[in-house]
Amino acid sequence: MNPMSVPAEGPAAQPLSGLRVVEFTHMVMGPTCGMVLADLGAETIKVEPLEGDRTRHLLGSGAGFFPMFNRNKKSLSLDLRSAEGAGIARRLCGSADVVAENFKPGTMARYGLDYASLAPDHPRLVYASLKGFLPGPYEHRTALDEVVQMMGGLAYMTGRPGDPLRAGSSVNDIMGGMFGAIGVLAALVQRGITGRGQEVQSALFENNVLLVGQHMLQYAITGEPAAPMPNRISAWGVYDVFTVQGGEQIFLAAVSDGQWQLFCRALGFEDLLADPAFATNNDRVRARVRLLPLLRERLAHRTAAELAAIFERQGLPFAPIRKPEELFEDPHLVATGGLADVKLADGPKAGESARVTLLPITLGGERPGVRLDPPRRGEHTDELLGGLGYGPGEIAALRARGVVG
């Protein structure tokens, strides 16, 4: 644990308070790992190039990357390509409990910032290396979330036959960062026992393969390849999206025989309970080609709100079909504190507030919240260098030479 940090006291203390994390990360996967550790209370330092993390200024689908995945962090702007800058980074890593990076293999070694270079002098260091692939034949390929979704079977399962489609979020980047954080936490526990750190590796491709593992096993067990989700053979008789009055859509499900009986009685479909073709869930799965059109016809005149109210009362599974922007007003998220305000550091709305989603966990009944807004580029450079022993004059000279920003 960083001797310069003092853990917070009291019931509201963050569990990783007093831990120092230094991250050399960009895009989504690496910053997600750092965000999880930061949200859990670690002092997390983002080392950025002098021009800043590129995600600060992305457009379109990338516009939310920086403010989403870089809250609760401090920013140090540094030119790693200079000998002085790399030396400062190594000195900073020496003060850390955890170092995380997600650059191409070999990048950190050029600056003496890889695990092999740091570990001899810092044997307690936990080092998270977040890559496209774990070491092996693919490790030097350039990977993106979409790349591994295509090669790892997820895009095939998501799209219609002949039309592979990536999932609608950065699922591998985010989950790869989460698995990196899980590995870090495990290594920290082990360090508490052995006194020694270790390198932790996480990778996009292997993460994606875990996501489709159930479909791989489906084939291994049944001998039948898993069909893309739009053409899947569902495990449940009623488990689908229905278009109802006014063109609204709602997802409805009945995944057990008990739920099927509730479903039919609540909607006045007692005649379906008498049909032996629908007697059990597996019967209903085999009869879906007849059952679903029948249900669609009977439900078409109902409103989504009416169906939601019925299913809510009966404890049956249902879901409105929401767009991401509608979740800002979701009554459950609002009531439970699932969203928090941050001040934007970049872009056309710099200085304005926006709401971000928090980690989906509680600790002591509380959601880990936002302590620090996403940092401005180099916002904490002077503070952090001062903590490493650099005086104001030295920092000014480093800035004049273009070593720090």
Residue that terminates a domain, selected from 323, 357, 391:
323
The amino acid that residue 378 corresponds to is G
Tokens of 330: 């979701």
On whether both 346 and 265 belong to a single domain, the answer is no
Contact (CB, 8 A) for 316 and 262: yes
On whether both 34 and 147 belong to a single domain, the answer is yes
On whether both 319 and 188 belong to a single domain, the answer is no
On whether both 135 and 204 belong to a single domain, the answer is yes
Tokens of 150: 């295509």
On whether both 311 and 343 belong to a single domain, the answer is no
Listed in sequence order, the residues at least 6 apart from 97 whose beta carbon sits closer than 8 Å to its beta carbon are 1, 2, 19, 20, 21, 42, 124, 125, 126, 188
**Assigned domain for 267 exists:** yes
Q: What is the pLDDT of residues 312-325, one digit of tens each?
A: 999 999 999 999 99
On whether both 75 and 194 belong to a single domain, the answer is yes
**Assigned domain for 227 exists:** no
**Assigned domain for 382 exists:** yes
**Assigned domain for 223 exists:** no
On whether both 75 and 138 belong to a single domain, the answer is yes
pLDDT at position 13 is 54
Total structural domains within the chain: 2
pLDDT at position 1 is 44
On whether both 315 and 353 belong to a single domain, the answer is no
Q: Name the burial class of residue 322, with classes exposed (0-12), middle (13-18) and buried (19+) by CB atoms within 10 angstroms of its CB.
A: exposed
Please state, in angstroms and as integers, the Cα–Cα distance from residue 363 to each residue in 21, 76, 186, following that order: 21, 29, 18
Sequence-distant contacts of 212-221: CB under 8 A, at least 24 apart: 212/152, 212/153, 212/154, 212/157, 215/153, 215/157, 216/153
Residue that terminates a domain, selected from 302, 323, 344:
323
On whether both 173 and 306 belong to a single domain, the answer is no
pLDDT at position 234 is 85
Where in the sequence is the domain holding 311, given as residue range(s)? Answer: 235-323
Residue 248 is given by DSSP the state -
CATH number at residue 97: 3.40.50.10540
pTM for this entry: 0.92
HSE, side-chain direction, 13 A CA sphere, residue 329: 4
pLDDT at position 233 is 78
On whether both 184 and 308 belong to a single domain, the answer is no
On whether both 364 and 312 belong to a single domain, the answer is no
Q: How far apart are CA 392 and CA 216, in angstroms?
A: 59
**Assigned domain for 367 exists:** yes
**Assigned domain for 177 exists:** yes
Could you give the 3-state DSSP secondary structure of residue 5? coil
Q: Name the burial class of residue 188, with classes exposed (0-12), middle (13-18) and buried (19+) by CB atoms within 10 angstroms of its CB.
A: buried
Longest pairwise C-alpha distance within the chain: 87
CATH number at residue 299: 3.30.1540.10
**Assigned domain for 97 exists:** yes
Q: Which residues of the chain have pLDDT under 70?
A: 1-13
The amino acid that residue 384 corresponds to is L
Which of 45-70 are b and which e, b meaning 16 or more Cβ less than 10 Å from the residue's Cβ? bbbbbbebbebbebeeeebebbbbbb
Residue that terminates a domain, selected from 323, 342, 374:
323
On whether both 59 and 109 belong to a single domain, the answer is yes
Strands (E), 224-378: 238-243, 249-254, 318-320, 339-343, 353-357
**Assigned domain for 239 exists:** yes
